[in-house]
Structure 1
Amino acid sequence: MASSTTNNPIQKDLKEASEQFQQQILNASNYQLSQANQSISQVSSGMTKVQKSLEEARSNIRSLERELKSFKEHTMKFDSSFVPLITLPKEEWPSAKYVAK
């Protein structure tokens, strides 16, 4: 009886169709897995770039903070009577001939 089921053309076709369907599912799953891995790789690469940019930004901020501190220390050395031009009324501004020299 077992030999009659394996020789049955319908059973053979059904088995072949089942194997083809399983292979198609496997191929589709492998393709989706490959796409997911590629996406993960791209995200990981992007995250690495973002991390490097953040580190560079932090470094730039620290550098700017040092420059600001140095600038503040330098400006504190000015005489307390120093008055920036911007605070003077327009009629007290020095004439252009004195500023240009």
Structure 2
Amino acid sequence: MSLFKPAENVFDSLEQMCAFSSKDWSTEKEAAWLYGIVSGWDSDDPDDDPAMPELQARFGWNDEAVARLRRLREQWVTLAAAAAAEEDTNDRLSAAD
């Protein structure tokens, strides 16, 4: 049995909240930190202007804090992927029954 039911998956829930909220996550230090973990401020698109340097300056984050935020984001992505994989496996097993 999966620990992560689709309607109750904490990763999906928080990712959806960040993605579809009308909140400007960059205006408050704590909100920006949370968004940085859940959604990330770094873009995979090389044509995008990176947001991290602006946020670092705005909130006084030193290089160590930025590195920590990026590590926390990597951990989030890893755990979210593991939860999604577990859901997929359980869905396939349930369908085979």
TM-score (norm 2): 0.37
Structure with max Cα Rg: 1
**Larger relative contact order (Cα-Cα within 8 Å, sequence gap ≥ 6):** 2
Q: Give the TM-score of the pair, scaled to structure 1.
A: 0.36
Q: Is the helix fraction higher in 1 or 2?
A: 1
